């Protein structure tokens, strides 16, 4: 509890000495991140594009179908894995720049999540040919070698008295 009181006193001292510092820290509020109503006119679209830092030609909102995206821009589906790793990103861990709007499905499109725009290492037809080649090749080997049984080498059974009866349950 004492650390909380100390931090409150430090904040009060900072506010008295330099109010610009506190203003700079509290620049954004949660209400600033909430999307506005769906833009109906060209002027509203222009203001929404400016709000999200996009050029008017780049700005296209999600359709007004009741999902609640409002004026939030519909950004292209480009996963973080597909972005250039050698570009000097402001935030290289997330491969994004300062003030860059986040995709509505950003939590799904990070590098440790689902890749929405995969680049296949090999074409799909080649992958199918490899899969079917292994499956049919295994089946063909099984079918060809079905009659050729493989056993461990075994010596003939060793019976005492050359296979004659050597025990009896009868009383003598």
Instruction: Evaluate whether residue 66 is within a structural domain.
Output: yes
Instruction: Evaluate whether residue 65 is within a structural domain.
Output: yes
- Sign for the CA dihedral angle at 160, 161, 162, 164 comes to negative
State the pLDDT at residue 27: 57
CB atoms within 10 A of CB 48: 22
Is a pLDDT exceeding 60 seen at residue 130?
yes
Confidence of residue 155 (pLDDT cuts 50, 70, 90): confident
**Full residue range of the structural domain in which residue 66 is found:** 7-74
State the pLDDT at residue 159: 72
- Share the mean pLDDT of the chain: 81
Is a pLDDT exceeding 70 seen at residue 3?
no
Confidence of residue 169 (pLDDT cuts 50, 70, 90): confident
Angstrom distance (rounded) from CA 32 to CA 19 = 22
Instruction: Evaluate whether residue 42 is within a structural domain.
Output: yes
CB atoms within 10 A of CB 63: 10
For the chain, how many structural domains are there in total?
1
Angstrom distance (rounded) from CA 8 to CA 97 = 33
What values do phi and psi take at 94, rounded to 5? -105, 0
Instruction: Evaluate whether residue 115 is within a structural domain.
Output: no
Angstrom distance (rounded) from CA 149 to CA 23 = 84
């Amino acid at each position: 509890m004492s650390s909380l009181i100390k931090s409150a006193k430090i904040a009060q001292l900072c506010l008295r000495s330099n109010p610009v510092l506190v203003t700079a820290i509290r620049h954004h509020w949660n209400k600033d991140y909430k999307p506005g109503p769906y833009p109906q006119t060209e002027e509203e679209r222009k203001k929404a594009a400016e709000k999200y830092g996009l050029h008017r030609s780049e700005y296209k909102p999600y359709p007004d179908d009741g999902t609640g995206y409002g004026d939030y821009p519909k950004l292209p589906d480009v996963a973080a894995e597909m972005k250039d790793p050698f570009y000097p990103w402001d935030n290289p861990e997330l491969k994004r720049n300062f003030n860059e709007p986040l995709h509505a499905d950003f939590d799904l499109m990070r590098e440790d999540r689902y890749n929405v725009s995969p680049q296949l290492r090999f074409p799909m037809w080649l992958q199918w040919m490899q899969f079917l080649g292994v499956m049919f090749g295994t089946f063909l080997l099984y079918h060809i070698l079905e009659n050729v049984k493989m056993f461990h080498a075994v010596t003939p059974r060793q019976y005492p008295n050359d296979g004659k009866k050597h025990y009896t349950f009868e009383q003598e």
